[in-house]
């Protein structure tokens, strides 16, 4: 069983080009699946039954002594991994049938993306490089100033381009063309796309490159990464998340996540009249249906405008 899982994960990495984070989640889900199957006496992929798969799903939702109950979204991801494993086993001749074919992932509740207002975005961006930063006086003045410029450039780029936080920290200096106003990012599945960089983000990134990055690179090895940490290495996702959280705290904004600026980018574009298919391309969504959830946000805005503006909106 474990050998089949390893082969399947290798197939996903090499043939399908799944992102490292997705592979890590699948590996964790399938490790738990193998544990459940072993406890039920299944030691080979061709001995698994539909009841085994359904029992695994029930266990995900109910939890046990070692695992808390999973939300519908997390359980759905695990079932998707299991279904993919059994389809692979059937296709490769490792099993005679697919016991997971009729087991459907639970449907997570539909949640609207969280977006913040333009005024809140401006508060957040100003807080990234404002005078009330907590690192003033705790590190060298030059390093503190460099980090402030880096943080402003990072958040301006995230909001100005709609890039995922992992895409932003994965950028190299050569991936950004400030003259033309675009960046080349590597999205999910290794797919590369071009994202625009607006004037505010261009100025912030240029200021960082000229006045801050050399200071941060001084203690490192001079690598190609666009955004550097205080040791001169590539800024990590966790480091970027801390930058965002610190700025949100200073701006007195709550519930701001790494995806908040991306959601705000999409929502503000649609509110400004952008076509949903253009926003789909900018976000790097494979299907326009993924992007259309943002239109629900703008419909709410339309209702509010109608309710407050039309003379016959209320009795």
Q: What is the pLDDT of residues 4-30, one digit of tens each?
A: 999 999 988 888 777 788 889 899 999
Q: What pLDDT does residue 154 have?
A: 96
Q: Annotated catalytic, 164?
A: yes
Q: What pLDDT does residue 222 have?
A: 66
Q: Which member of 54, 188, 193, 250 is catalytic?
A: 188
Q: How far apart are CA 259 and CA 147, in angstroms?
A: 22
Q: At what angle do helices 118-129 and 141-161 cross, to 10 degrees?
A: 160
Q: Annotated catalytic, 252?
A: no
- Spatial strand order of the sheet with 182-186 comes to 176-177, 182-186, 192-196
pLDDT at residue 86 greater than cutoff 80: yes
Contacts of 141 (CB under 8 A, 6+ apart): none
The one-character DSSP state at 228 is B
Q: How far apart are CA 188 and CA 18, in angstroms?
A: 7
Q: Which member of 237, 245, 250, 259 is catalytic?
A: 259
The tokens of 52 are what? Answer: 């085994």
Q: Annotated catalytic, 159?
A: no
Taken in order of first residue, the domains within the chain and their CATH numbers are 2-91 (1.10.150.130), 118-304 (1.10.443.10)
Cα 241 to chain center, whole Å? 11
What's the chain's average pLDDT? 84
- Inter-residue contact 101 to 54 (CB < 8 Å): no
CB atoms closer than 10 angstroms to residue 107: 9
pLDDT at residue 42 greater than cutoff 80: yes
CB atoms closer than 10 angstroms to residue 173: 13
pLDDT at residue 273 greater than cutoff 80: no
CB atoms closer than 10 angstroms to residue 39: 10
Q: What pLDDT does residue 259 have?
A: 84
Q: Which member of 32, 86, 262, 263 is catalytic?
A: 262
Question: pTM of the full predicted structure?
Answer: 0.60
CB atoms closer than 10 angstroms to residue 205: 27
Cα 159 to chain center, whole Å? 14
Lowest mean pLDDT among 8-12, 42-46, 208-212, 288-292: 288-292
pLDDT in tens, 161-186: 888 899 999 999 999 999 888 888 88
Averaged pLDDT for residues 248-274: 85
Q: What pLDDT does residue 138 have?
A: 47
Q: For residue 83, what is the enclosing H or E element?
A: helix 72-91
Among 191, 187, 124, which Cα is nearest to 154's? 124
Q: How far apart are CA 43 and CA 37, in angstroms?
A: 7
Lowest mean pLDDT among 45-54, 69-78, 260-269, 283-292: 283-292
Higher per-residue confidence, 107 vs 54? 54
Q: Annotated catalytic, 200?
A: no
Averaged pLDDT for residues 112-133: 82
Q: What pLDDT does residue 232 have?
A: 92
Q: Annotated catalytic, 262?
A: yes
Confidence of residue 307 (pLDDT cuts 50, 70, 90): low
Averaged pLDDT for residues 40-63: 91
Averaged pLDDT for residues 142-154: 92
Q: Annotated catalytic, 259?
A: yes
- Inter-residue contact 267 to 298 (CB < 8 Å): yes
Q: What pLDDT does residue 63 have?
A: 85
Higher per-residue confidence, 300 vs 226? 226
pLDDT in tens, 178-215: 988 888 888 776 778 888 888 999 999 999 999 999 99
Q: Which member of 133, 147, 150, 164 is catalytic?
A: 164
DSSP 163-211: --HHHHHT-BGGGEETTTTEEEEE-GGG-EEEEE--HHHHHHHHHHHHH
Decide: helix, strand or coil at residue 219: coil
Q: How far is CA 35 from CA 2, 103, 122, 220, in A?
A: 10, 19, 49, 43
């Amino acid at each position: 069983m474990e050998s089949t899982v390893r082969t399947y994960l290798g197939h996903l990495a090499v043939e399908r080009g799944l992102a490292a984070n997705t592979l890590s989640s699948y590996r964790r889900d399938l490790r738990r699946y193998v544990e459940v199957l072993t406890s039920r006496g299944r030691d080979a992929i061709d001995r698994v039954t539909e009841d085994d798969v359904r029992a695994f799903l029930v266990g995900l939702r109910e939890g046990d002594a070692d695992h808390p109950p999973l939300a519908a979204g997390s359980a759905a991801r695990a079932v998707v991994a299991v279904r993919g494993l059994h389809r692979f086993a059937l296709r490769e001749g490792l099993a005679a049938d697919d016991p997971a074919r009729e087991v459907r992932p639970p449907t997570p509740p539909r949640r609207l993306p969280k977006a913040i207002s333009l005024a809140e975005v401006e508060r957040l961006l100003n807080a990234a490089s404002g005078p009330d930063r907590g690192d003033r006086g705790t590190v060298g003045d030059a390093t503190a100033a460099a980090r402030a410029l880096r943080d402003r450039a990072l958040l301006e780029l995230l909001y100005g381009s709609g890039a995922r936080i992992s895409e932003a920290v994965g950028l190299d200096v050569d991936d950004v063309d400030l003259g033309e106003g675009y960046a080349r990012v590597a999205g999910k599945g290794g797919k590369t796309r071009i994202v625009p960089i607006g004037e505010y983000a261009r100025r912030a990134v240029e200021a960082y490159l000229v006045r801050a990055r050399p200071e941060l690179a001084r203690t490192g090895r001079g690598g190609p990464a666009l955004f550097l940490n205080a040791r001169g290495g590539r800024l990590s996702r966790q480091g970027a998340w801390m930058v965002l959280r610190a700025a949100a705290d200073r701006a007195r904004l709550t519930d701001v996540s790494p995806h908040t600026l991306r959601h705000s980018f999409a929502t503000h574009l649609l509110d400004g009249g952008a076509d949903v298919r253009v926003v789909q391309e900018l976000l790097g969504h494979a299907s326009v249906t993924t992007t259309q959830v943002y239109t629900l946000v703008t419909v709410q805005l339309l209702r509010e405008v109608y309710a407050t503006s039309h003379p016959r909106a209320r009795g």
